[in-house]
Structures are given as C-alpha cells and as structure tokens.
Amino acid sequence: MQVKNEDNAIDMSSSIVLKQGYLNQKNERTGRWKTRWTILKEDCLEYYRKRCKHLCSRIILSNCSVSNVNQNETKRENTFKVILSKKKRSVIFQAASDSEKNYWLSLIGAAIRELTRSSFDANNLVDLGYNLSEILVSMEDPTAGLQLKNRNNIRCFSGKEAIDWLLNWDFAPSRQKGFDICQQLTSGGYFQQIVPQQKAKDFQDRDFVMYAFSAVSSIRRISMIALLESSTEPSDSTSSGDESEDNLDRNRESLLIDIIRIKSNRRRNWRVRKAVLFQDPKEIRLYSSGKSLQTDYKKPLKVINLEESEAVCLEYVNDESISSKQNHVVVIKRKALRPVLLQCDNDYKRDNWIKLINLYQ
C-alpha cells in the first residue's frame, strides 16, 4: 500500500533506518524520472524531494514484494521495482550502480520477509506495561539472559524456558502474563520457531518447541545498547596496555556467533569455520570449527575487515565471476578487495548475517 503524506519532517523514531541514499524514481503517471532521497526502514520505504525534506510518498512494505526490472522495460540500467500487491501496481527505482541496486534489493527483501511475521508496532507493549526493547536487551544478555542451547547449529531456547526466565526476573507477575509477552514477541517476529519444523501460529509454552532470536531482535538489542551507552558517562578508569588480544576479543561486543562455510579464494573449496561478527571495528573473525558455539578466542585463523563493505544474497548478484551452486550464500563485497562468500544453514541465518553486516555501514 502506498500512503501520501504532506508532513515535511522525518519521524526517525518510528522505526530503525536500515539504509538511506539517493535513488531515481519513475513517476507512474508521467513516466519521468526524478532523483529522490530514499529511506528504508523496518516497515516502510520513504522517498523525499530533497534530503530529509518534503516527503513524496511512503510505501508500507507488508504484503509487498521486490524484484529486478528488465532493462528493455525501462531503457535504463540498475533498476528494480517494489510491487504493491493490493493495488497491483509497482514503483520503479534506479540505483547508481549494479552493486548499489543489489544492496537495496537485498535489504528490502529481508525487511519484507521479517514483516510477513507481523504487522504490529512492537516498540512498546502498552497493554502489558513493559518496554519491549528493554525485555529484548535483558533476554539476550550474555550473563543474565536466556541460556541458549545449540540445536542444528542454531542458538535457541524452549518456549517454557522463556516464560520461566520472565517469571524469575519479575518481568511477568504470572505465567499467563509471561505467555502474553512471548506471544507478542513471536507475533512481532522477534522470536522465530526453529523446532519442530511444522510451525505453530501461536507461541508454545513447551519444552520441545525451540525458538531463536530473529534478526529484528538482534538489531533492536544493538540499537538499545548503543542508546544506553551514549547516555552513560565515560569511566575514569583506563585499561592496561599489556592486555592480550584474546582478552580484548572476549570483552568486545559480538553481534553474531555461528558455524558457517567459507569459500577459499585460492583453492576455491569450502571450509567449515566458527565465525564471530564484531562491531567497532566491524570485522568477522574465523576460528576452527567445533561442536559447540562457545569460542575460546585464541588467535583467529583469519580476520575479514568489513569497513566499506556490503552484504547481499547471492541470488541478487549479476556477476559471472561470483558464482556458486550452494544455497543460502551471503556475498560480502569489499572495496578494492576480493568478495567473500559465506554459506549458512538456512535462509533465516543468511538474512541474519546480511542485516547485521550491513548495520551501521
């Protein structure tokens, strides 16, 4: 659905900004192309006449789809369209380059997939009186949060454990209230059911039903932590200069830990590695694989610098030099360096890697 809005100001608090930049947009009525400042949020795509001023339109991404546009149709390169299913219309955009187009396609597609789980605004649980961001930060806390298990190389928890945790930390006065919180988290796409494969519509308070935190949950947690850190006064204490690199890695905030397969640029074969995604500086550290996701933070086998990089799905890459017959592959394009190919176990993990790598780029 496309919604007109004459308000000139941008409401940056309504949703997390995933990407913003200039795109050319084709006017559906006149066929003319205009340069628009475009902002992709979790739930919508907005474009403006000028940077952050004069909103032209807002596309609500729920029930939409995104795809490439044939060059013969527009007579222009690097075009894609957002298809509005209810009105059977589409909005066509043009990016500055093929890689930029693929970047937009990947992020818009991932945002749409997340929105298929829910259309409600989960910033606050008004009826329950709890702030959702605070609950998510607490749940994912590495020390006091939910104790995650490794199931099919996915860090997960059972439905019963989630409610037990809410009761233990007084986020819920009763088991029914705990269930209501988990139900909203599941409906909003913050919990994703992993086991069993036949997914239930409602949250299940059971030991054998396993859930994982989704990419939306991780992004909100990181944003909330950044907000809390920015409001905290800096400490007067200084770290000792002889602190080892192992301890520095251990103390850094890891955005994601996963078992992946990486394609060697030299031998062109795939190797299983334990990958840890770090922020500040943004990089992936690769360690020897093991049965557990616990990382001992010894010297990594390889460090992948992610500065000035972008991650996209392999399906959106139109480059014959970058190819693979594998599924669930993430392509990390780096400036003046060879691209890196990571293979994940499923689409959920692939989308998680793409969102977190592109976060704050």
Encode pLDDT of 55-79 as tens digits: 888 898 887 888 888 888 888 888 9
- Alpha-carbon gap, residue 221 to 132, rounded angstroms: 10
- Of 193, 228, 263, the last residue of a domain is 228
Mean pLDDT of 201-222: 75
Three-class secondary structure of residue 360 per DSSP: coil
- Total residues found in the chain within this entry: 361
My answer on whether 144 and 216 are in the same domain is yes
- Of 115, 147, 170, the last residue of a domain is 115
Other CB atoms within 10 A of residue 252 CB: 16
- Alpha-carbon gap, residue 260 to 272, rounded angstroms: 6
My answer on whether 257 and 321 are in the same domain is yes
Q: Tell me which residue of 203, 143, 340, 198 sits closest to 260, measured CA to CA.
A: 340
My answer on whether 6 and 111 are in the same domain is yes
The pLDDT, as a whole number, for residue 133 is: 66
**What's the pTM?**
0.42
Three-class secondary structure of residue 91 per DSSP: strand
Give alpha helix (H) positions in the chain: 71-74, 98-115, 132-139, 159-168, 175-187, 215-230, 245-251, 347-358
Tell me the residue type at 284: I
Q: Is 248 part of any domain?
A: no
My answer on whether 55 and 8 are in the same domain is yes
Phi, psi for 188 (deg, rounded to 5): -85, 0
Cα angle at 219 between 217 and 222, to 5 degrees?
Answer: 110
The pLDDT, as a whole number, for residue 161 is: 95
My answer on whether 130 and 164 are in the same domain is yes
Q: Is 247 part of any domain?
A: no
Three-class secondary structure of residue 340 per DSSP: strand
My answer on whether 165 and 223 are in the same domain is yes
| pLDDT surpassing 70 at residue 149 | yes
The pLDDT, as a whole number, for residue 221 is: 52
Q: What letter does residue 315 receive in the DSSP assignment?
A: G
Q: Tell me which residue of 187, 195, 197 sits closest to 217, measured CA to CA.
A: 187
- Of 60, 87, 115, the last residue of a domain is 115
My answer on whether 74 and 100 are in the same domain is yes
Tell me the residue type at 361: Q
Instruction: Print the domain residue range for 108.
Output: 2-115
Phi, psi for 353 (deg, rounded to 5): -60, -45
Q: Which of 117-121, 126-130, 345-349 has the lowest mean pLDDT?
A: 117-121
Residue 103, Cβ density class (10 Å: 0-12 exposed, 13-18 middle, ≥19 buried): buried
Residue with tokens 């500086």: 281
Query: CATH number for the domain including 154?
Result: 1.10.10.10
Q: Is 234 part of any domain?
A: no
Q: Is 245 part of any domain?
A: no
Query: CATH number for the domain including 320?
Result: 2.30.29.30
At a CB cut-off of 8 Å and minimum separation 6, what does 71 contact? 77, 79
Tell me the residue type at 99: S
Cα pseudo-dihedral 359, 262, 116, 47, rounded to 10: 40
Residue with tokens 């032209």: 56
| pLDDT surpassing 70 at residue 341 | yes
The pLDDT, as a whole number, for residue 83 is: 86
Three-class secondary structure of residue 58 per DSSP: strand
Q: Is 175 part of any domain?
A: yes
How far, CA to CA in Å, does 325 sit from each of 17, 269, 314, 331? 33, 12, 10, 13
My answer on whether 310 and 354 are in the same domain is yes
**Average pLDDT of the chain to the nearest whole number:** 75
The pLDDT, as a whole number, for residue 205 is: 94
| pLDDT surpassing 60 at residue 237 | no
My answer on whether 209 and 285 are in the same domain is no
Please check whether residue 20 is in contact with residue 227, taking contact to mean a CB–CB distance below 8 angstroms: no
Q: Is 305 part of any domain?
A: yes
Encode pLDDT of 238-267 as tens digits: 344 444 445 545 556 677 788 888 988 776
| pLDDT surpassing 70 at residue 22 | yes
| pLDDT surpassing 70 at residue 39 | yes
My answer on whether 22 and 107 are in the same domain is yes
Q: Is 71 part of any domain?
A: yes
190: left (phi over 0), alpha (psi -120 to 50) or beta: alpha
Instruction: Give the chain's domain count.
Output: 3
Tokens of 63: 């029930």
My answer on whether 158 and 214 are in the same domain is yes
Q: Is 23 part of any domain?
A: yes
- In the structure, what pLDDT confidence band is assigned to residue 8 with cuts at 50, 70 and 90? very low
- Alpha-carbon gap, residue 261 to 268, rounded angstroms: 12
| pLDDT surpassing 80 at residue 81 | yes
Query: What's CA 202's distance to the chain center, in Å?
Result: 23
My answer on whether 87 and 154 are in the same domain is no
DSSP string, 152-218: TTEEEEEHHHHHHHHHHTTS-SSHHHHHHHHHHHHHTTSEEEEESSS--SS----SS-EEEE-HHHH
- In the structure, what pLDDT confidence band is assigned to residue 130 with cuts at 50, 70 and 90? low
